[in-house]
């Protein structure tokens, strides 16, 4: 492979698609672990799940890869967007976009920006206190001890705490809606970009993508709503 590959338009798009698919795999894991809150009202099951994610060294190593993947996805999109703007220096007076494409497929940059804003808030809410709280003393979490004398971060209590604020609940739900539309285009688009388009499989990929894009954000959005109502 030549160095030019990553500079070619198709190479750059493949970087977007592959990092996107990697981030999708992260979402699936994140959604699964967080959904543990629905299966144990005391929060112990979720706290143990979060503890595993925070202490297992393979997961911790993947966390670095995850941040690298996220940053690559963001910076590559900025480069592509700037190039795309340059490709049409004089715009049209009238565009009938709805006639030939879906609004969310044309608004991936906007949806991505909303997601980034959401992520900054979300990381501040949970990742910073959990991972950096002890080190930098930023918003340290309360601790809880279960059987076996292992000390756990009480992230469940922190979720209840954060989602006591209705503004946070609304912002999280809006973040999940942005995620849903971003995925609705992104999931199937990633497969097209890496060259996987076949009459036999593409309908299944599109269906799976739509189910994922609706189901995962729906489960995520139900968490703040549930905790807000349950601990009002």
Partner 1 sequence: MGSGNGQMLNLTLKVWRQKNGKAKGSFETHQVSGISTDMSFLEMFDVLNEKLIHEGKEPIAFDHDCREGICGMCSMYINGRPHGPKGGITTCQLHMRSFKNGDTIIVEPWRSAAFPVIKDLVVDRSAFDRIIASGGYVSVNTGNAKDANNILIPKTAADAAFDAAACIGCGACVAACKNASAMLFVSAKVSQLALLPQGQVERKERVLKMVSQMDEEGFGNCTNTGACEAECPKGISLENIARMNREFLGAELTTAKK
- Give the containing element (helix H, strand E) for 42: none
Should residue 23 be labelled a site residue for partner 1 when binding is judged by CB under 8 A? no
SS3 content of the chain, % helix, strand, coil (to 5): 75, 5, 20
Binding residues for partner 1 restricted to 167-226, rule: CB under 8 A: 185, 189, 192-199
Going by C-beta distance under 8 Å and a sequence separation of 6 or more, which residues neighbour residue 14?
193, 194
Judged by CB under 8 A, the stretch of 40-48, 49-57, 77-85, 170-178 that binds partner 1 is: 77-85
CB 37 within 8 A of CB 223: yes
Choice between 201 and 231, CB closer to partner 1? 201
Q: For tokens 């497969």, what's the residue? A: 191
Binding residues for partner 1 restricted to 118-137, rule: CB under 8 A: none
CB 115 within 8 A of CB 179: yes
**Closest distance of CB 118 from partner 1, Å:** 21
**Closest distance of CB 117 from partner 1, Å:** 21
Q: In the complex, which residues of this chain contact partner 1 (CB under 8 A)?
A: 1-2, 4-5, 8-14, 80, 83-84, 86-97, 99-102, 105-106, 108, 185, 189, 192-199
């Amino acid at each position: 492979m030549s160095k030019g590959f990553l500079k070619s338009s198709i190479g750059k798009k493949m970087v977007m698609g592959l990092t996107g698919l990697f981030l999708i795999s992260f979402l699936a894991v994140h959604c699964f672990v967080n959904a543990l809150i629905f299966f144990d009202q005391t929060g112990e099951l979720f706290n143990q799940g979060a503890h595993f994610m925070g202490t297992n060294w393979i997961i911790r190593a993947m966390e670095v890869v995850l941040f690298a993947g996220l940053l690559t996805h963001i910076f590559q999109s900025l480069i592509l967007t700037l190039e795309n703007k340059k490709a049409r220096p004089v715009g049209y007076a009238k565009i009938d976009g709805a006639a030939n494409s879906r609004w969310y497929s044309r608004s991936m940059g906007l949806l991505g920006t909303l997601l980034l804003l959401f992520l900054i808030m979300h990381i501040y809410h949970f990742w910073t206190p959990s991972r950096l709280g002890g080190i930098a003393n930023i918003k340290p979490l309360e601790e809880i001890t279960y059987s076996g004398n292992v000390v756990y971060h009480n992230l469940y209590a922190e979720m209840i705490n954060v989602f006591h604020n209705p503004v946070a609940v609304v912002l999280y739900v809006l973040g999940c809606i942005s995620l849903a539309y971003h995925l609705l285009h992104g999931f199937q688009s990633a497969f097209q970009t890496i060259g996987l388009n076949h009459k036999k499989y593409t309908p299944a990929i599109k269906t799976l993508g739509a189910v994922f894009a609706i189901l995962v954000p729906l489960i995520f959005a139900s968490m703040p709503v549930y905790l807000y109502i349950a601990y009002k």
